[in-house]
Structure formats: C-alpha cells, structure tokens
C-alpha cells in the first residue's frame, strides 16, 4: 500500500522545493488524495487550531494539491496529523484534516472509508506512529481505527485478512464507521427566494419559496426534495446538473445566511456553518432497506463540488433526519445512492446507514497489548491480541454508521476457511439481489406473467381441441374457468398491492409520463393532414378491395342475401360520411 505519488513545485530537486507524497484512493468514485509526507508542520494545540493555521498560512499548498494540473474541481484531500489533543489523551489513533476545492471541511465519510483501509494497510510508522497499537480482533478479522476529525472522533472498523503473517485490509468486505452525534437541526424551513436569485425551474412552478430541512452529520447539510426546486426526477435523467447547480447555489446562499440555524447545538464555533446541499427524492412512507432501490441524493458541497459517492457525512445527516421524522427505526438500515451508484446498479458504490446508540464503545484494557498479531497467537484462542470488548458491535457509539461495498479486488492468499464461507454467502446475496433487481422489475415481471398466462391459455386450448369429450365435460370447463379467474385475480391483487407502494407509485407516474409522451408524439405525427389522409385512403382501399373480392368470388350465386348487401352499403356510406364530416370540421378550423 505504501506506493506514493510525488508532487512538487518544480521538475527538479532543488533546495527549497516543496515535495509532497500522496496516495490517491476513491470510494464509490469519489477521490481521496491522502497527503502522507512532506506537508509542513501544523502549529496549534488542538486539531481545530491546526486547521485554522493550515487555512491561514498554508492554503497555497491546498490549492496546488487540489486544483489543476495536479488535481481537478472534484478533488478531495485528507491531511494526516499524527499528533492531536485526542491522540495525546489516548482517545484517537491519528488526526485528519479534510480539504477540497474551496477550503477545509469538518467531516467526510467517503474519505473516512478510504483512510481506514489505508491506515490498516500501511506499515510505515513514520506515517502512522500508532500503527501497531490499533485495536484488532483476530476472531472477527477486523481492526478499529479511531480517527480524530475536526468534528470529533470517528471509529472506523476495517475488515482484515492475513497475508504471510501480516494483517491487511480485506477488499472483499465492507468498511464501517460510527460517526459523531448526528441530529436534525430544523425541518420544514420555508425559504423565500428573491427575484435576483430565482432560477427558471422554480419560476415555472409559480412559487417563490422552497421548503427545506437542515441536518448535521459531522457537517451541516440542507436536504431538499427535487420537486421543491422545480425539477423532475434525477434518477430518470430528467435533470440538467448545471441547472441544478445554480439552484442549489442559491439555496445554499439563502440558508447559509441564517446563522441562527447552526447555533445552539453544543458545537464548536468552527463547525457552525452550512457545508452542502443534498437534493433528494420525495420520501413516501418508511425508508428502511426493504426495496432494492436506494434513496438517491445529489450533494453539492464547498464551492459547488459534486460528490460522486452517496456522501458519508450526508448519509449520517439523512439518517438522523429520517429518525426525527419517524421514517426510520433504531438500527434499521437504509441504502443511499448517488447518481453514479444508481446508474451502476445493484450495490456497487452504495452506502448503507442506520441510527444506533449514543454511547461511544471503548476497548477493554484487559484485552489489549501493543504486540502485532502473529500466526501463532491468532491460532491460540487463549491468547487474545488487541481484542475489542465483546459488546463493541452490540452497543455502538453514536447516531449513525455507514459502510461501503466490496471493491472487487483479488483476495491475497493466507485467509481462513471462514473467509471463503463468507465469500460464498456474499456472492449468493449478490446473485439474489441481482436476480430480484432484474426479474422483479415491473416490465420484466409483467412480461414473465404474460408468458405464463399465454402458456396456460394455449395449453388449455390445445387440450380442449385435441380431446372433444372435454368440451362436453362441465367439471373440466368449470375447473378451467375457475383456475383462470383465480390466477388473474391473484395477479391483479399483487399488481394493485405493488401500485400502492412508493416504488409502485413512482413506476405508475413514470408510465403515465411515458404514455403521455407517446400519445403526444403519435398525435403530432399521425394527425397531420397528409399522414391522416393517407391512412384514410389506405383504409378505404382496403375496405373496397375486400368488398370487391367477395363480390367477385360470389358473382355466380343465383341470389344475393339482401341483408348482406344492405349492411355493406350502410357501412360504406357511414364510413365515407364520417370521413367527410371530419374533413369538413378540420377545414373549418384555423389550421
């Protein structure tokens, strides 16, 4: 893991040249540039004081690390700070400063996940002085790294495996973290939008105000539904992100000016500001992990940077908000998607969050030592090395936990049998979810049901055709009819129950929109005079051709059925009269 990129201010190693070593990672597509060596020493007794020093004295380095040509607008960074007040007190293993295209943030979930893997994998104690002191559980095969972020201490649980006696992160299992205290700051806040900040989509709705919620998950976020801003569904690709950028920038400016919304929560003054705006889908009913679709959100943070991941600290805030609204029970899990993870499908890139307890777990001192795990003492069940207390997962720490999904990287050799059992279980879960995602999609399920119905009807018809006595068997006829009615009723009941769910309602709205679009397109093209006239001409030619053919083939009949002749004559006169009436009505219009 200790493979670095070297960034410098020039192409030559000259005296005075700043050389910085970094490791680039990503979580769900969102980058994390970890600054591991070469960054100047940060003055200050506390992490927040060091953050202030970096902002005031070293911001040029941040800009060179984040911006072109070494970075880009969406780059995100993490500066390792080995010594903080929390590491000195033993409450944390290492400090972290987060940075982005605008400045320095207070919390970042996707970077926390990346940092957890990196800090377990690195063996360089110059980078991570407390590397051999992190708490590891050889039975559960995981390590806990305590990160001191500007918002507080975040406990990161990293799955591990053995590779030649060396502990490293397991890329096939998820990273979890227990975030800081998260809460809903305000709900249903109505923001009046002045004319100079009004965006076209909101103006088109006839409204001049939007309703938003405010929540904290290590940083403050505005959470607003896409319809409130006047936009369609982001999930369906109906939204231009550039236009959404302008709308969220206006919302951030208006809400950020209301300082009272961020005060009075027992936070440090440096944390009392609006960090980002998350545009979400309309929440309908409970939001637990019952369906395959995640709760989509697009996060604009800092200087309108777009998060490619589902935003870890935003997930913490959204879980707290859902708990406050009664939409999510304690420890109930919910999946969150970004547009990127939603497009990839299944679980790739998604985060899963849940509300948990309020007391931070502490390792049992009696189970700890500073010796690194070895093959011998891990195999000996009596020799517990760096074991966390048994209630670590049963009584977790704060309001929110977040996890990422497997990376798909190859598994190094040296794992135990249980690891392969876990792998089979994960693959089975993945295949099951994949099958449900595609087979239970309304269109696919409807097509399969149609094929089943067609097969049953065809089979019954074939049976009745080949066995003439069945046509006179009342019991067989009644049984076939009853079975068909039962099947169709069950399918109708299942379809109606699905339609009542939030996802079913969204599908129904989507079908209505698509049907309306098809109707408008057909009306625009089919009802044009030339096209409609041509279709009527073809219809007339077909009718006259059929009448002529029947007359020709039956010309030698001695008598004609006057009822047939009358019916054909009346039909033709009615058809032509209707066409003439429609043509006259059309001519009298202003077209």
Tokens of 427: 């693959």
Tell which residue, 296, 246, 292, 256, has the closest CA to residue 276.
256
**Architecture of the domain defined by 183-354:** Roll (3.10)
- The 10 Å CB-count burial string (b at 16+, else e) for 125-154 is eebbebbebbbbbbeebbbbbbbbbbbbbb
* Residue-level pLDDT at 117: 95
Q: What is the dihedral of CA 232, 233, 239, 241, to 10 degrees?
A: 130
* Residue-level pLDDT at 532: 75
Tokens of 61: 């380095």
Q: 3-state SS string over 483-548?
A: HHHHHHHHHHHHHHHHHHCHHHHHHHHHHHHHHHHHHHHHHHHHCCHHHHHHHHHHHHHHHHHHHH
Do the domains 5-175 and 183-354 sit in the same CATH topology, yes or no? yes
Domain map of the chain by residue range? Answer: 5-175, 183-354, 442-526, 530-587
Tens digits of pLDDT across the chain (591 residues): 555 566 555 444 444 567 899 999 999 899 999 999 999 999 999 999 999 999 999 999 999 999 999 999 999 999 999 999 999 999 999 999 999 999 999 999 999 999 999 999 998 999 999 999 998 888 889 999 999 999 999 999 999 998 777 889 998 899 999 999 999 999 999 999 999 999 999 999 999 999 999 999 999 999 999 999 999 888 777 678 899 999 999 999 999 999 999 998 999 999 999 999 999 988 654 444 444 456 889 999 999 999 999 999 999 999 999 999 888 887 788 889 888 888 776 555 689 998 886 544 444 444 333 333 333 333 333 332 333 333 333 333 334 444 444 444 444 444 455 556 656 666 666 676 666 656 666 677 778 888 888 888 888 888 878 887 777 788 888 888 888 888 888 888 888 887 777 667 767 777 777 777 777 777 777 777 777 778 888 888 888 888 888 777 777 776 667 777 788 888 888 888 888 888 877 777 655
Beta-carbon count within 10 A of 5 CB = 12
Catalytic residues: 108
Q: Is 105 helix (H, G, I), strand (E, B) or coil?
A: strand
Strand segments, DSSP code E, in 250-407 are 274-280, 295-301, 305-306, 333-337, 351-354, 401-403
* Residue-level pLDDT at 422: 59
Tokens of 521: 């397109």
**Architecture of the domain defined by 5-175:** Roll (3.10)
**For the chain, what is the total number of helices (H) and then of strands (E)?**
15, 20
Tokens of 347: 């679980």
Burial category of 517 from C-beta neighbours within 10 Å (exposed 0-12, middle 13-18, buried 19 and up): exposed
Task: Please indicate, yes or no, whether the overall pTM of this predicted structure exceeds 0.95.
Answer: no
> In Å, what is the CA distance from 534 to each residue of 203, 537, 581?
43, 5, 17
């Amino acid at each position: 893991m200790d493979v670095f990129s070297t960034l410098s201010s020039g192409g030559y190693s000259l005296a005075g040249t700043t050389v910085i070593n970094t490791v680039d990672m990503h979580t769900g597509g969102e980058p994390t540039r970890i600054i591991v060596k070469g960054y100047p020493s940060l003055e200050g007794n506390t992490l927040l004081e060091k953050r202030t020093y970096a902002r005031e004295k070293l911001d040029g380095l941040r800009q060179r690390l984040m911006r072109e040509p070494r970075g880009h607008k969406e780059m995100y960074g993490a500066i390792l700070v080995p010594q903080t007040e929390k590491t000195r007190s033993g409450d944390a293993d290492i400090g972290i400063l987060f940075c982005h295209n605008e400045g320095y943030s207070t919390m970042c979930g996707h970077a926390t996940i990346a940092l957890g893997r990196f800090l377990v994998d690195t063996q360089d104690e110059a980078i991570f002085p407390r590397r051999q002191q992190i708490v590891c559980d050889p039975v559960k095969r995981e390590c806990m790294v305590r990160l001191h972020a500007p918002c507080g201490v975040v406990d990161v649980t990293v799955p591990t495996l053995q590779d030649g006696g060396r502990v490293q992160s397991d890329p096939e299992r998820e990273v979890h973290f227990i975030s800081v205290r998260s809460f809903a700051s305000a709900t249903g806040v109505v923001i009046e939008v002045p004319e100079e900040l009004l965006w076209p989509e909101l103006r088109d709705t006839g409204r001049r105000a939007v309703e938003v919620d405010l929540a904290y998950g290590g940083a403050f976020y505005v959470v607003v539904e896409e319809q409130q801003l006047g936009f369609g569904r982001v999930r369906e690709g109906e939204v231009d992100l550039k236009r959404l950028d302008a709308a969220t920038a206006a919302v951030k400016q208006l809400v950020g000016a209301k300082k009272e919304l961020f005060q009075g929560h027992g936070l440090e003054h440096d944390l009392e500001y609006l960090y980002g705006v998350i545009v979400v889908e309309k929440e309908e009913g409970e939001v637990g992990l019952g369906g395959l679709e995640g709760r989509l959100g697009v996060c604009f943070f800092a200087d309108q940077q777009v998060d490619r991941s589902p935003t870890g600290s935003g997930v913490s805030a959204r879980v707290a908000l859902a708990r406050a609204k009664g939409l999510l029970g304690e420890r109930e899990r919910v999946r969150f998607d970004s547009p990127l993870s939603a497009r990839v499908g299944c679980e790739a890139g998604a985060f899963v969050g849940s509300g948990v307890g309020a007391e931070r777990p502490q390792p049992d001192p009696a189970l700890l030592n500073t010796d690194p795990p070895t093959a011998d003492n891990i195999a000996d069940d009596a020799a517990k090395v760096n074991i966390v207390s048994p209630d670590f997962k049963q009584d977790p720490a704060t309001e929110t936990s977040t996890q990422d999904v497997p990376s798909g990287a190859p598994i190094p050799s040296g794992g135990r049998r249980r690891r392969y059992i876990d792998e089979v279980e994960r693959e089975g879960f993945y295949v099951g979810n994949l099958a449900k995602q595609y087979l239970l999609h309304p269109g696919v399920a409807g097509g399969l049901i149609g094929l089943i119905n067609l097969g049953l009807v065809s089979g019954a018809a074939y049976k009745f055709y080949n066995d003439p006595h069945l046509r006179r068997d009342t019991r067989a006829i009644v049984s076939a009819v009853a079975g068909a009615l039962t099947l169709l009723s069950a399918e109708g009941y299942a379809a109606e129950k699905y339609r009542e769910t939030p996802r079913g309602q969204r599908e129904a709205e989507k079908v209505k929109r698509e049907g309306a679009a098809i109707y408008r397109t057909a009306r625009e093209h089919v009802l044009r005079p030339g096209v409609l006239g041509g279709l009527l001409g073809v219809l007339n030619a077909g009718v006259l051709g059929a009448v002529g053919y029947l007359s020709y083939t039956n010309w030698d009949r001695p008598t004609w059925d006057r009822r047939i002749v009358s019916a054909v004559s009346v039909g033709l006169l009615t058809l032509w009269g209707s066409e003439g009436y429609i043509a006259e009505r059309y001519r009298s219009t202003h077209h």
